[in-house]
Amino acid sequence: MNEQTPTVKFTEMKHGTRDEYLMLREKEQAHVKLTPDRILKALRDQEDETIEGYKITRLEHGLQSATRAWRDGADIDWVVGAVLHDIGDGLAPQNHDEFAAAIVRPFLREEVTWCVHHHGAFQMVYYAHHYDWNQFERDKFAGEPYFQSCVDFCEFWDQSSFDPDYDTLPLEFFEPMIREVFARHPYAEATVQAGTKSPLRDEAVAAERAAA
């Protein structure tokens, strides 16, 4: 017979004991280690998440964005950021960029997180005028250190990734990268790399990957 899983006795947090909270912390640490699995499940769920009118699914868009990043020679932070930049579309359609940024912030370089956080405003340059909205919403971020990075993120990988005929790499290709990133020490200086920039395109790396 399996032992019954221990549970706390309290029904209000303020009544919890030290032993109970130590037990909970151990279980929460085990839960945290499974974050990559939940991320991958959320991505797979996007395969069924299509808004009528588009030619591809949410998952295909993220994978296509990441494939373009990979083939451009981008580093792992950019590639994972591209995979996950729209992971919030289903639950937070009004602020999906902020939602996605909150997920990746502890684990990706600050530059990439900033671009994920603000790509919604930067994407407006391509379509907002058709709705009589402010096409240049991104200009309010002029002078920010990662402004051009976000411009390029949208131009190279996001707005261009709605092509059903593109040779998109599968989720399985990116899974090891996602697991590597989410195994990092969250918010560590070496993880966040505040102020550091990495080129979105590296011709030498791109050529090596194309030849492999």
> Is residue 13 a part of any domain in this protein?
no
Segments forming the whole domain that contains residue 65: 20-211
> Is residue 81 a part of any domain in this protein?
yes
Distances in whole angstroms, Cα of residue 52 to Cα of each of 47, 57, 120, 134, 200: 14, 10, 20, 25, 31
User: CB of 51 within 8 A of CB of 37?
Assistant: no
pLDDT value, residue 35: 95
> Is residue 80 a part of any domain in this protein?
yes
Q: Could you read off the pLDDT of 161-190 as tens digits, one per residue? A: 999 999 999 999 999 999 999 999 999 999
> Is residue 4 a part of any domain in this protein?
no
User: CB of 135 within 8 A of CB of 125?
Assistant: yes
> Is residue 5 a part of any domain in this protein?
no
The model carries a pTM of 0.93
> Is residue 150 a part of any domain in this protein?
yes
Burial grade of 111 (CB within 10 A; 0-12, 13-18, 19 or more)? buried
The pLDDT of 89-106, averaged and rounded, is 95
Q: Which two tokens stand for residue 24?
A: 């909970």
Amino acid 196 reads T
> Is residue 159 a part of any domain in this protein?
yes
3 pLDDT band, cuts 50/70/90, is low
Please report which helix (H) or strand (E) contains residue 27, including its range. Answer: helix 18-33
The pLDDT of 54-62, averaged and rounded, is 95
- Domains in the chain: how many in total? 1
What CATH code is carried by the domain that includes residue 207? 1.10.3210.10
Query: Angle 76-84/35-45 helices, nearest 10 degrees?
Result: 50
Q: DSSP letter at 195?
A: T
Q: Which two tokens stand for residue 117?
A: 């956080």
Q: DSSP letter at 9?
A: S
